[in-house]
């Protein structure tokens, strides 16, 4: 059959990549054109050093990656951009007004108070359908309104939309990611009434588009060496929320499986056709995020690999020569710890000394925390697995989806200890892979828009299942904890 090529720009909270893909009805091959760290920066703001994203640095890495693609493939059909959710840039007259805040910046608590004083949380949930996360865009926007930043701005662009704007000059809001603002109605329109009640400027919110919509072409004036042929590739909106793209590429039967998109976060849930807005779901802090093709991502955020990466950062800061593969190998040799900690505790959200915080969690309960890095890694993995298993059970109970298997995609799919522990604690088989699910979901949606593929998400997932290796972990019943 015919094949063509597209490029996926995938920006995670820990690292970014540009993937070059060949796609056809029976073909799905990705090669990495660029991979780079996403390192946030603290900048003094008069009273404290605030945590920001280096979006200009990211854009520069994106252009370098696209340059590499262009030099080997001048006929590239399309480019799609996805990134982590909720964060955004404010612009005036087309110019970015400042480096976007990082959702892990400590400023958010005051924004939550401001919003909840104006609109009760239960009402926010009825409208937006989101789990409570203190950094949901609406809380951050309330702070921007309070400190005057919003008065200076005439445009709000979520991170992937900002990158797409810098590539094309065209401004829009892709719907899956816009759903994480808390400012959409159930029908996926901007919630004008809520926007007004919160004192936000309605005109700052750009036109909404669905994943699969062509949004422009590369600007000729990017000042980089991008030797694409003719008018260059189309930039196509994809599931621009990274998790929405990842869910597209889960090779699952959504009627009887749960998924865990496991990177910086562990996003644990099921895919639905309709929102679930029950009080039980709200109490369990489940979200109804917008998926590609109008599906609903009913899921809950679990802390994720952040606990491991931030611990390793701390050990390296102390001068220890440790890395993840070495620690995981050592951790696997240790006995399963008797106690796990609550991986959902909000104390783990902000950057900092994770091993000390975990130790604190145990000591407050009169328990002893593991002393060695390998012991700490083991208890982190087991605690994540316990939270994953419990959340899968909750997702099944809240939705009625008879979950028979758990798919793990993203970087966590490479972590055999985590996959096996999740299978053991859930008493369900874990199917691990693909690791690059987010980039693959990004590729599939733009390839379909470009006419290289056709069909619904089930057809796209069948292509993933045929072309990527999946590792199966069978639960060890003896080890299943109560
Ligand atoms: C994962 C993710 C997640 C959001 C968080 C901000 O990268 O997009 O889905 O909750 O980052």
Closest protein CA for atom 8 of ligand 1? 84
What's the whole-number mean pLDDT along residues 438-465?
Answer: 98
Annotated catalytic sites, by residue? 242
Which residue of 10, 11, 86 sits with most ligand 1 atoms within 8 Å of its CB, as the best mutation to test the pocket?
A: 86
Q: How confident is the model at residue 479 (pLDDT cuts 50, 70, 90)?
A: low
pLDDT tens digit sequence for 30-57: 999 999 999 999 999 999 999 999 999 9
Which residue of 14, 131, 242, 309 sits with most ligand 1 atoms within 8 Å of its CB, as the best mutation to test the pocket?
A: 242
pLDDT tens digit sequence for 251-301: 999 999 999 999 999 999 999 999 999 999 999 999 999 999 999 999 999
Give how far the C-alpha of residue 133 lies from the chain's centroid of Cα atoms, to the nearest Å.
14
For residue 112, CA distances in Å to 140, 279, 288, 386 come to 8, 20, 19, 29
Task: Answer yes or no: is pLDDT of 481 > 80.
Answer: no
| pTM for the model | 0.97
Q: How confident is the model at residue 482 (pLDDT cuts 50, 70, 90)?
A: very low
Determine the atom of ligand 1 nearest the C-alpha atom of 289: 9
Determine the atom of ligand 1 nearest the C-alpha atom of 13: 7
Structure tokens at 464: 């993933």
pLDDT tens digit sequence for 196-216: 999 999 999 999 999 999 999
pLDDT confidence of residue 331: 98
* 433: three-class secondary structure by DSSP: coil
Lining ligand 1 with CB less than 6 A are: 12-13, 84-86, 103, 241-243, 263-265, 267, 301
Task: Answer yes or no: is pLDDT of 223 > 90.
Answer: no
Burial 69-107 (b: 16+ CB within 10 A, else e): bbeebeebbbbbbbbbbbbbbbbeeeebbebbbbbbbeb
Percent of the chain topping pLDDT 70: 99
Determine the atom of ligand 1 nearest the C-alpha atom of 103: 6
pLDDT confidence of residue 277: 97
Task: Answer yes or no: is pLDDT of 328 > 90.
Answer: yes
Closest protein CA for atom 10 of ligand 1? 85
């Amino acid at each position: 059959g015919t094949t063509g090529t597209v490029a996926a720009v995938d920006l995670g909270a820990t690292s970014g990549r540009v993937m070059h893909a060949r796609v056809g009805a029976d073909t799905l091959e990705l090669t990495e054109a660029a991979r780079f760290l996403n390192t946030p920066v603290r900048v003094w703001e008069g009273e404290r050093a605030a945590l920001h994203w280096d979006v200009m640095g990211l854009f520069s890495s994106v252009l370098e990656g696209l340059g590499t693609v262009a030099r080997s493939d001048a006929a590239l059909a399309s480019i799609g951009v996805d990134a982590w959710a909720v964060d955004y840039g404010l612009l005036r007259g087309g110019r970015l007004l400042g480096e976007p805040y990082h959702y892990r910046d400590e400023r958010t608590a005051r924004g939550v108070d401001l919003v909840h004083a104006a609109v009760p949380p239960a009402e926010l949930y009825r409208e937006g359908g989101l789990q409570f996360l203190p950094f949901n865009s609406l809380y951050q926007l309330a702070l921007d309104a309070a400190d005057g930043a919003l008065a200076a701005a005439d445009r709000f662009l979520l991170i992937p939309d900002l990158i797409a704007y810098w590539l094309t000059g065209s401004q829009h809001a892709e719907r899956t990611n816009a759903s994480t603002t808390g400012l959409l109605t159930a029908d996926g329109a901007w919630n004008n009434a809520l926007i007004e009640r919160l004192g936000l400027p309605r005109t700052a919110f750009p036109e909404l588009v669905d994943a699969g919509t062509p949004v422009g072409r590369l600007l000729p004036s990017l000042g980089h060496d991008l030797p694409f042929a003719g008018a260059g590739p189309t930039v196509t909106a994809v599931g621009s929320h990274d998790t929405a793209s990842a869910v597209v590429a889960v090779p699952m039967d959504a009627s009887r499986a749960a998924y865990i998109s496991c990177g910086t976060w562990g996003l644990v849930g099921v895919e639905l056709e309709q929102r679930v807005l029950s009080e039980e779901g709200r109490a369990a802090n489940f979200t109804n995020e917008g998926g590609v093709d109008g599906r609903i991502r009913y899921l809950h955020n679990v802390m994720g690999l952040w606990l491991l990466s931030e611990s390793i950062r701390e050990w390296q800061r102390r001068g220890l020569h440790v890395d993840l593969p070495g620690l995981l190998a050592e951790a696997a040799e240790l006995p399963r710890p008797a106690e796990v900690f609550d991986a959902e505790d909000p104390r783990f959200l902000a950057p900092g000394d994770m091993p000390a915080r975990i130790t604190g969690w145990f000591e407050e309960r009169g328990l002893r925390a593991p002393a060695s890095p390998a012991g700490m890694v083991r208890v982190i993995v087991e605690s994540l697995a316990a939270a994953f298993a419990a959340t899968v059970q909750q997702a099944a109970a809240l939705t009625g989806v008879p979950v028979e298997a758990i798919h793990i995609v993203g970087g966590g799919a490479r972590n055999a200890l985590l996959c096996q522990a999740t299978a053991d604690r859930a008493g369900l088989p874990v199917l691990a892979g693909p690791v690059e699910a987010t980039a693959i979901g990004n590729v599939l949606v733009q390839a379909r828009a470009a006419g290289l593929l056709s069909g619904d998400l089930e057809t796209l997932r069948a292509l993933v299942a045929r072309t990527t290796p999946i590792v199966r972990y069978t639960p060890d019943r003896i080890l299943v904890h109560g």
